[in-house]
Structures are given as C-alpha cells and as structure tokens.
Amino acid sequence: MCKVRQLLIFLSCLFTSTNSTNVSSCISNTPCKCLLTEDSFTLLNCSYSLPDLPIFNSNTSLNITKIIARHALIRWPLHLCSYSNIEILDLSGSYLDAQYMDLSCVSQLLFLNLSNTQIRKIPNFRRYGLKNLQTLDLSNNQIEVLDGSLLRSLNNLVTLNVENNPLKYIDYFDYILGLSSLESINLMSSSSTLTTKKQLSAIQWTNLAHKWNSSNKYFSIRTNTFSLQSIFPNPDQFQMIPLDSMKIIFQTLSNSTFTTLFSTPPCNCVHLRNYQRVFSFTYYNKNLSPLYQTTTCILPNGIIHARLFDYRTFF
Ligand SMILES: *[C@@H]1O[C@H](CO)[C@@H](O)[C@H](O)[C@H]1NC(C)=O
Ligand SMILES: *[C@@H]1O[C@H](CO)[C@@H](O)[C@H](O)[C@H]1NC(C)=O
Ligand SMILES: *[C@@H]1O[C@H](CO)[C@@H](O)[C@H](O)[C@H]1NC(C)=O
Ligand SMILES: *[C@@H]1O[C@H](CO)[C@@H](O)[C@H](O)[C@H]1NC(C)=O
Ligand SMILES: *[C@@H]1O[C@H](CO)[C@@H](O)[C@H](O)[C@H]1NC(C)=O
Ligand SMILES: *[C@@H]1O[C@H](CO)[C@@H](O)[C@H](O)[C@H]1NC(C)=O
Ligand SMILES: *[C@@H]1O[C@H](CO)[C@@H](O)[C@H](O)[C@H]1NC(C)=O
C-alpha cells in the first residue's frame, strides 16, 4: 500500500508538470519507463516488475483512454477500475490470472489485447457488457475450450484472434458466427486436432444465412485443424437449406481458409457432387476465393488432398 501511495503522488506531480514526457524511471524500484500524454500512458521495459497499474488522481485517470503495458504485470491489475474511460488496453505479454480478471468497470473498451498472457480460459464477456469492443486478441495463450456463449454479447466485435492456443474444442460456434459485426476469426491452433467439433445443423446454417443476408458481409475463418465439412451438415441434408441461403453462406465464407493437416475428411463421391453443385451457384469469382482453394477432401489413396469444390475432383 505504502509503495502505491508513493507512486501516486509521484505520478500525479509528474503529470501536472508536463503534458507529454518521457521519463527515465517512473516507478521507484522498478526498471519501468513511462510515456505519458494527456490521454494515454505507456509503460516500457517493466519486465514483469509490477503487481498493479500505477494510479493518478481521479481527474487525470478519467482522461486516460489508452493504456499500453506490455510485459509489465505479474497479475491482473486491480487498479484498472481507476481508468473507467479507457478504450484501448494492451496488457499483452503480462502474466494474468484469469481468476481475478475483471473488465466490468472498463465498459468503453474498443480494443483489448490479452495476447501471450498465459490465460487458460476465455474470459466471461457476458458479465462485462463490453458493447463497444471491436478487437479482441487472445492469441498465444493456453486456452483449450473456445466457448462461443461467453462471447455472445460482443455485438460490435469485428476481429477475434485465438491463434496459437492449444484448442481442443469449440462450443456454441454458431454464436460466434452469428455475431453481427464479426468479420474475421483466427483459429490457427497450436494443437494438431480439435477433437470435439459439433456440426451445425441445417437450421442453424439457414438462420446464419438469414443474419448474413447483406451484400457486404464477409466472414473470414482461418483454421488449420478442422474442415468445412466438419462444421457443415452432411450433404444429404443440403436440400433442407434453401438455395438462396446456400449462396449467402458460401459467398460470406468465400474468404475463409480451411487447411487441415490431420483431419481432412475422405472424399465421398455423392458428397462431392453436392458440394460442387451448390458451390457452382455462387456468383463471385470463385476460383480465386480462398475457400475454393483451400477446402479439400482426401482421395482414396490417402495421400492426395483434392479440392472439394473443383468439379475436376472425382474418382
Ligand atoms: C518519447 O519517446 C518516444 C518513443 O520512445 C518518442 O517518439 C518521443 O519523441 C519522445 N518524446 C519526448 C518528449 O522526448
Ligand atoms: C527498453 O529496453 C531496450 C533493451 O534493453 C532498450 O533498447 C530501449 O531503449 C529501452 N526503452 C526505453 C524507453 O528505455
Ligand atoms: C477534479 O475536477 C473537479 C471539477 O473539474 C474539481 O472540482 C476537483 O477539485 C478535481 N479534483 C482533483 C483531485 O484534481
Ligand atoms: C482532462 O481533459 C480535459 C479536456 O481535454 C482537460 O480540459 C482537463 O484539463 C484534463 N484534466 C486533467 C487532469 O488532465
Ligand atoms: C497484441 O500484442 C501482441 C504482442 O505484444 C502483438 O504482436 C499483436 O499485434 C497485438 N494485437 C493487436 C490486434 O494489435
Ligand atoms: C435476403 O434479403 C432479401 C431482400 O431483403 C430477401 O428478399 C431474401 O428473401 C433474403 N434471403 C434470405 C435467405 O434471407
Ligand atoms: C480476405 O482476407 C484477407 C486476409 O485476411 C484480407 O486482407 C482481405 O481484406 C479479406 N477480403 C475480404 C473481402 O474480406
């Protein structure tokens, strides 16, 4: 406590004395360097020496909209609530214990970077009501379960990065696909297979198509562990999805890539024909689309990955 108070006095002095400054050492007994401006502060070179964020007097804190503290903290900062107007928060590289994570007092967040913070779970965003959040970076962590229901309230989320986590399975993927502003999700995983991956039903895809029905909607999925076929209904159920909806779905996903190393499904003659038929109805320049290029099935020889949508793939 004593240390924190010292810090507070020191920083508020500093802050009132100048609008923007670089100081050589801003928090005593740490290697931290601070860059302060009227509306942001950046902590540099702390190298895991901070148990919490420094605090200013309340008027100053409320003017801060941007905090960058990379590789700085050794646990979740309880003082975060002093900065209730921040819009940009980058705590990447710090050690954060998800158990104490609390974002309920920073409801203005637009950008949140929790990359490389050793978290094991998706924070429960349902609790926080981050209605404005547009960018969420959870890459390079230890997350094994991607539970879409925890992200369901993030209606303004545009980019979700879950790259390089040892993901084992995804729950409620339809909630993620249905987020109204989401344009891209990076699921490039550090584990070799996503073991449990429930297919979405024909009805769920039809509902998604209904939500995606606007000319400019693109949804880009990047994955190396599961195939399109594993989240799509079996082709014998394709007739349950109206052709209009099918077009919307493939158009919206045209920028997605489904490369899989270990879980490419075998080619099936009847399925191939169904996939190729529905794909042939889509209007865009399909041969150039990443979806067309990367979605494959494996031929009976067990070696060749053939393009699922290419009518030349048959056997
Ligand atoms: C403070 O440091 C930053 C980056 O290290 C530099 O761009 C900026 O010009 C410096 N400002 C002052 C006032 O020295
Ligand atoms: C932070 O540390 C790096 C490497 O030790 C050094 O090059 C850089 O100048 C330091 N930054 C500041 C603001 O002192
Ligand atoms: C904060 O601002 C209010 C009104 O602008 C003022 O009355 C108050 O004294 C300020 N508090 C501090 C700690 O500067
Ligand atoms: C907060 O920002 C307002 C508007 O930019 C400014 O007038 C005020 O002086 C700032 N307060 C502090 C404590 O920096
Ligand atoms: C988050 O932080 C990491 C590491 O500091 C950085 O590489 C990444 O680009 C940041 N993410 C975003 C969305 O800016
Ligand atoms: C998409 O929107 C158009 C125009 O609003 C409508 O006529 C069409 O039925 C919709 N299609 C689907 C699959 O929702
Ligand atoms: C497709 O994805 C690439 C790479 O992520 C991106 O640069 C491009 O803007 C996307 N195109 C569309 C139409 O979304």
Q: In what helix (H) or strand (E) does residue 111 lie, and over which residues does it extend?
A: strand 111-113
What is the mean predicted confidence (pLDDT) over 119-146?
93
- Report pLDDT for 148: 94
* Domain containing residue 163: CATH number: 3.80.10.10
Residue ranges making up the domain that contains 124: 2-198
Q: How far is the CA of 237 from the centre of ligand 6 (A)?
A: 21
Instruction: Evaluate whether residue 70 is within a structural domain.
Output: yes
Q: Of 162 and 282, which is predicted with more confidence? A: 162
Q: Is the pLDDT of residue 76 over 60?
A: yes
- Report pLDDT for 5: 43
Q: In what helix (H) or strand (E) does residue 90 lie, and over which residues does it extend?
A: strand 88-90
Residues touching ligand 3 (Cβ under 6 Å) are 57-59
Ligand nearest to the CA of 20: 1
φ, ψ for residue 42, nearest 5 deg: -125, 130
In tens, the pLDDT along 84-114 reads 999 999 999 999 877 788 999 999 999 999 9
How much of the chain exceeds pLDDT 70, in percent? Answer: 88
Instruction: Evaluate whether residue 271 is within a structural domain.
Output: no
What is the mean predicted confidence (pLDDT) over 109-123?
95
Instruction: Evaluate whether residue 239 is within a structural domain.
Output: no
Instruction: Evaluate whether residue 192 is within a structural domain.
Output: yes
- Report pLDDT for 98: 74
Counting atoms of ligand 5 from 1, which one is nearest the CA of 113?
Answer: 1
Closest by CA position to 34, among listed 15, 61, 60: 15
Q: In what helix (H) or strand (E) does residue 228 lie, and over which residues does it extend?
A: helix 228-231
In tens, the pLDDT along 35-65 reads 888 899 899 888 888 889 988 778 888 999 9
- Report pLDDT for 189: 86
Pocket test for ligand 3, best of 57, 59, 63 (most atoms within 8 A of CB): 59
In tens, the pLDDT along 207-239 reads 999 999 976 789 999 999 889 999 999 999 999
DSSP codes, 260-302: -SS-PPBP-HHHHHHHHHHHHT--S-GGG-HHHHH-EEE-TTS
- Give the list of residues 6+ apart from residue 73 with CB closer than 8 angstroms, or none: 46, 48, 50, 51, 52, 53, 91, 94, 95, 96
Residues touching ligand 6 (Cβ under 6 Å) are 209-210, 213, 244-245, 248
- Dist CA 142 CA 308 (whole Å): 33
**Angstrom distances, CA of residue 286 to CA of 167, 210, 223, 232, 307:** 30, 21, 20, 19, 13
Instruction: Evaluate whether residue 105 is within a structural domain.
Output: yes
In tens, the pLDDT along 3-41 reads 444 444 444 444 444 445 555 567 778 888 888 888 998
- 3 state DSSP class of 220: strand
Instruction: Evaluate whether residue 176 is within a structural domain.
Output: yes
For the chain, what is the domain count? 1
What is the mean predicted confidence (pLDDT) over 124-144?
94
pTM score: 0.88
Token pair of 47 as six digits:
């190298």
Q: How far is the CA of 288 from the centre of ligand 2 (A)?
A: 45
Specify whether the CB–CB gap between 88 and 111 falls below 8 A.
yes
The pLDDT-based confidence of 190 (bands split at 50, 70, 90) is confident
Instruction: Evaluate whether residue 203 is within a structural domain.
Output: no
Give the Cα-Cα-Cα angle 180, 184, 119 (nearest 5 degrees). Answer: 100
Instruction: Evaluate whether residue 77 is within a structural domain.
Output: yes
- Report pLDDT for 25: 61
- Dist CA 201 CA 281 (whole Å): 21
